[in-house]
Structure 1
Amino acid sequence: MKDIQNLRDDRRINIRKVGVKTISYPVTVLDKEHRLQQTVATVNMYVNLPHRFKGTHMSRFVEILNRFHGRINLESFHHILEETKGRLDAEAAHMEIEFPYFLQRDSSVDSIGTERYECRMHGSLAESDDLVLEIDVPITVPRSSLDQGGLPRSMGRWGTARVAVRFREFIWIEDLISLVEQGLAGRSDLPDSVETVCRQLGEILADQPAIRWFSVVVENFASGFATFASVNSSNHTSSTRKNQ
C-alpha cells in the first residue's frame, strides 16, 4: 500500500498544527505524599508539518503515548515530545494535558476532605524544549464573612487564581499549590481587590529561585460579570476588566 502521508507535496504550504486532540487517557502523576496519583487526563498532541509532506500518521501519536503507559512527569514529557518529533519527522512537537489533581484536607462544614485542582501541562520541542505547568487554585472566604441567612454564596468560593510557571528546577504540584494558598491565608474577611491579590501572589512567586517565569490570573466571581487581574514575571503590572 502506498504511504500517502510521506509523499512529497509541491505546494510548499507549511501546516502549523496537525495531530489528535481530546484523548481521554488514564495517567499517573507524581504525588509528594503518596509518591504517585492515578487520574484521568485530556490529551492533545500535534506537530508542525513541513510543506514537503502531504500528511502524517495520526495513529502514531497514540502509539507513542501508549509506550509511556500514562506516566507523566517532567522527564517523560520531554521524552514523549522527543519521540513524537523524531518519528513524525516534524519541525516541532507539542503536547497539552489537562487533569484533576486531588489533595487530602481536613473535612469541615465547607469541605468533604478532598480538594480538587485543575492542572495543565503544555510542552513543546523544536530546537529546545519548553514546559509550562498551570494550576487553578480556588480562592475561598471564611464562612463567618459570608452574608447571614439563605444559602452561602458558592460555599464560600470567592474566585480562582490561575498560576502558570516555568521551572529552573523541579517543583512538586503540592508545593506550588501551597505557595499560592499561603499567599491567600490569614484573611479574616473577604479578599481584597483582584489587583491586590494578583500582586501579592506575583511577589511570592518572584521570590522563588526554582521558578524562572510565572504568570498569574486572579478572577473574582460576581452576579452577571467577573473581574480579573493578571501579572507575569516579565512586566509585573496588572490589568483588570469586567465581562458582561
Structure 2
Amino acid sequence: MKDVQNMGDTRGIAIQRVGISRAWIPFLVAAQEGGSQHVTASIERFTVDLPMEYKGTHMSRFMEILHESANRPLNFLTVDELLKHVLCKLSAKSAHIAISFKYFIKKAAPISKKKSLLDVDCMFIGDKIKNEPLDFTMAVTVPVTSLCPCSKEISAYGAHNQRSRIKGAVKFSKENDITIEKMAGIIEKQASSAVYPILKREDEKFVTETAYDNPKFVEDILRDLVLALRKLDKIDYFSVECENFESIHNHNAYASHQEYK
C-alpha cells in the first residue's frame, strides 16, 4: 500500500519533535528491593525529529514499541534501549519520552508499625541523540507535613501546620543507585514530618509532636533539600519545588530552585 508518510514535503521545515502524547499503558517499574511494581503509566509525550524531506512520521510505530517494552521493568537502562529502538525503527536522529505514573512505597507507622502504602507521583524523562549517552531525569513528588515557625513563635499554644508537596528531580547520564524509594526518603527527611496512610492514636501523637518540634517555612524545606541533593554523586542537575497548602490562607506558599552540578 502507498506510504503517504514517506512522501516528500517541499516546505523546507524540519520538525524538532513529532509523535504521540497522552497515551495510557500498563507498565512495570523496577522496585528498590528487587522485582517490579505494576503501574498504569501516562505517556506524556513520545517523539522523534522529522527531517524536512518527509511528510510525516509513522505514529503507530510509537505504540508498537511501547507495547513491546511494557513487560520489562522501567529504569535507566530500559528507557535507553526503548529510545534506541525508536531511533532505529523511525530512522531518526533524536528521540524523547516522558512517562508519569503513581508508585506505591511501603510505609510503617512510627509507633504502632502498622504497614500501609503511600502513593507518590513519579515521572521518567528520557532524551537521546543517536550514538550519544541517554539524558535521563527522574522526578518524584512526595506529600509531607510542614509546621509554621512564625505561628509557633508568636502563639501562646499550638501552631498552624499543613500538608505540603515536595517535588525533587535529578538528571543523570550514567546508571546509578538513585531509586524512587531513595529519592522519596531524601525528600521526606526535609519536612517537619512525614505523612502516613495509616495512623493509630499513638502514631498521631508522635507525628503531631514531631512536626511541632521541627517547624519549617517553605524556604527552609527547599534549602534543606538543596543541601541534601548536593551530596548525591553521579547526577548532572537537580531541581526542587515545594508547595505548602496553607491552612490559614486561601493561597499556597511556594518555592523552587534548580542547579547544575
Q: TM-score, normalised by structure 1?
A: 0.83
Counterpart of 2:136, as a letter, is L
Q: Contact 1:50–1:91 at 8 Å: present in 2 too?
A: no
Q: 3-state SS of the aligned residue for 2:21?
A: strand
Instruction: Give how far 1:34 is off.
Output: 4.9
Aligned match of 1:77: 79
Alignment of 1:198-237 (within 5 A): 198-222=222-246, 223-234=249-260
Q: Contact 2:12–2:52 at 8 Å: present in 1 too?
A: yes
Instruction: Give how far 1:25 is off.
Output: 0.7
Q: Which has the higher contact order (CA 8 A, sep 6+)?
A: 2
Instruction: Give how far 1:193 is off.
Output: 1.7
Distance 2:250 2:48 in 1: 39
Distance 1:188 1:63 in 2: 49
Q: Contact 2:146–2:164 at 8 Å: present in 1 too?
A: no
Identify if the C-alpha distance between structure 1 residues 84 and 95 changes in structure 2 by more than 3 Å, giving closer, same or farther: same
Aligned match of 2:211: 188
Instruction: Give how far 1:114 is off.
Output: 1.3
Q: TM-score, normalised by structure 2?
A: 0.78
Instruction: Give how far 1:79 is off.
Output: 0.9
Q: What CA RMSD, in Å, does the superposition of the two structures yield over aligned residues? A: 2.7
Q: Tell which deviates more after alignment, 161-170 or 20-29.
A: 161-170
Residues 5-40 of structure 1 show CA distances to partners (whole Å, capped at 9, x for unaligned) of 111212111223221111111111111125211111
Distance 2:50 2:177 in 1: 31
Distance 2:5 2:259 in 1: 42
- 2:104 is the alignment partner of 1:102: yes
Counterpart of 1:89, as a letter, is S
Distance 2:192 2:164 in 1: 14
Total equivalences in the alignment? 225
Counterpart of 2:229, as a letter, is L
Q: Contact 2:236–2:260 at 8 Å: present in 1 too?
A: no
Aligned match of 1:124: 127
Distance 1:100 1:164 in 2: 15
Q: Contact 2:138–2:171 at 8 Å: present in 1 too?
A: yes
Q: 3-state SS of the aligned residue for 2:8?
A: coil
Identify if the C-alpha distance between structure 1 residues 199 and 185 changes in structure 2 by more than 3 Å, giving closer, same or farther: same
Residues 151-191 of structure 1 show CA distances to partners (whole Å, capped at 9, x for unaligned) of xx9xx752111100013523121111111112336653274
Q: Contact 2:146–2:163 at 8 Å: present in 1 too?
A: yes
Aligned match of 1:37: 37
Identify if the C-alpha distance between structure 1 residues 191 and 218 changes in structure 2 by more than 3 Å, giving closer, same or farther: farther
Q: Contact 1:194–1:218 at 8 Å: present in 2 too?
A: yes
Instruction: Give how far 1:203 is off.
Output: 0.3
Q: Contact 1:138–1:157 at 8 Å: present in 2 too?
A: no
Q: Tell which deviates more after alignment, 86-95 or 189-198.
A: 189-198
Question: Aligned to 2:177, which of 161, 165, 170?
Answer: 170
Q: Contact 1:205–1:211 at 8 Å: present in 2 too?
A: no
Q: Contact 2:146–2:216 at 8 Å: present in 1 too?
A: no
Aligned match of 1:57: 58
Identity of aligned residues (%): 31
Structure 2: state its 5+ residue gaps: 153-159, 194-209
Identify if the C-alpha distance between structure 1 residues 141 and 226 changes in structure 2 by more than 3 Å, giving closer, same or farther: closer
Aligned match of 1:9: 9
Distance 2:92 2:120 in 1: 33
